[in-house]
Amino acid sequence: MKANIFEIKHFAVHDGDGIRTTLFIKGCPLKCAWCHNPEGLSVKSELAFLSHKCINCGECVNVCNFNAHSILDGKHVYSRKTCMTCGDCVDVCPEDALKLYGITYSADELLPLLLKDKDFYKNSNGGVTISGGECLTQPDFCEKLLKSLKENDIHTAVDTCGFVNKNALDKVIPYTDVFLYDVKAIDNDVHIKCTGQSNKIILENLLYLDSKNCKIEIRYPYVPNYNDTEVDKIGEFLSKLKNVTKVKVLPYHNLAGSKYTSLDLKNTLPFVLPNDEQILHAKKVLSSYGLNVVD
């Protein structure tokens, strides 16, 4: 049982309480217009080519057995059609112009990597967060890893968009200390515009977690001209839940543009950024519903 991991982030401080290690699993069922982890959308491994770093040295050409790299007229040309994402070119690139997103690990292989910072977790009330992409598209893997972490007395968090089968939640609930749950919109049409999918399952699963007395931390990504009109609706919906411990408003940023370029993906990032006044207003509105809004 293995999962395709695109990043293991040590000393993370924004993915739950304390100092944490965040594990990012590839594959996501949503296509959020503002996605800042496009390398996590596909379940498959992908090679990123950062052309601005390339010095056209040809080292990648020498090691590639699939003719994915070539130097033509003094310029590096990369062919995704022939690339087998083996990663050999990444190992020899002197300028880090190539990066492999997606390495398969078993839960048993990952466990020692996650436990090595156990002292930092304990001293900061931190732990391990499993994220993505959408980690619960691989519930059996998450269940095994989370169970192993709890057996080692590690605080666990699951970061989810909620667009998953309810059975996936049932597998991880016994081993999850807190769910970091995205709420992007209450209005279904708005949600479809933002993500390409209905929010029916997402809201149903949120109510389900609440009924199971799971600890929930809500994340609301605030994106002007997309879901900025949803603040009151989100506040009203969340105010009826009993187990929401925190609500965070996440200001949209467009810093991921270079990732889209490096992966040859269409850049869907919205142009308009939120200002401080808008974010402060959203926090005040949510607080007015009795919610614990934190930075």
In the chain, what are the domains?
Answer: 2-43+107-294 (3.20.20.70), 46-101 (3.30.70.20)
- Report in angstroms the alpha-carbon separations of 14 from 35, 177, 237: 17, 16, 24
pTM here is: 0.96
What does pLDDT average to over the chain?
A: 97
Rounded-to-integer distance, Cα 101 and Cα 88, Å: 13
* pLDDT for residue 96: 97
Tell me if 158 sits within 8 A of 130, measured CB to CB: yes
Q: pLDDT per residue over 244-291, tens digit each?
A: 999 999 999 999 999 999 999 999 999 999 999 999 999 999 999 999
Buried/exposed code over 172-195 (b: 16+ C-beta within 10 A; e: otherwise): bbebbbbbbbbbbbbeeebbeebb
Name the DSSP letter for residue 272.
P
Calculate the CA 193 to chain-centre distance.
20
- Residue 1: the pLDDT is 81
CB neighbours of 258 closer than 8 A, spacing ≥ 6?
50
Q: Is the dihedral of CA 216, 221, 222, 224 positive or negative?
A: negative
State phi, psi for 264 to the nearest 5 degrees: 60, 40
Evaluate whether 86 touches 52 at the Cβ level (below 8 Å).
Answer: no
Looking only at the bridges linking them, the beta strands covering 155-160 and 178-182 are parallel
Distance between CA 199 and CA 186 in Å, rounded? 7
SS3 182: strand
List, for residues 90-118, the tens digit of each pLDDT value: 999 999 999 999 999 999 999 999 999 99
Q: State the pLDDT at residue 244.
A: 98
pLDDT of residue 291: 98
pLDDT in tens, 20-79: 999 999 999 999 999 999 999 999 999 999 999 999 999 999 999 999 999 999 999 999
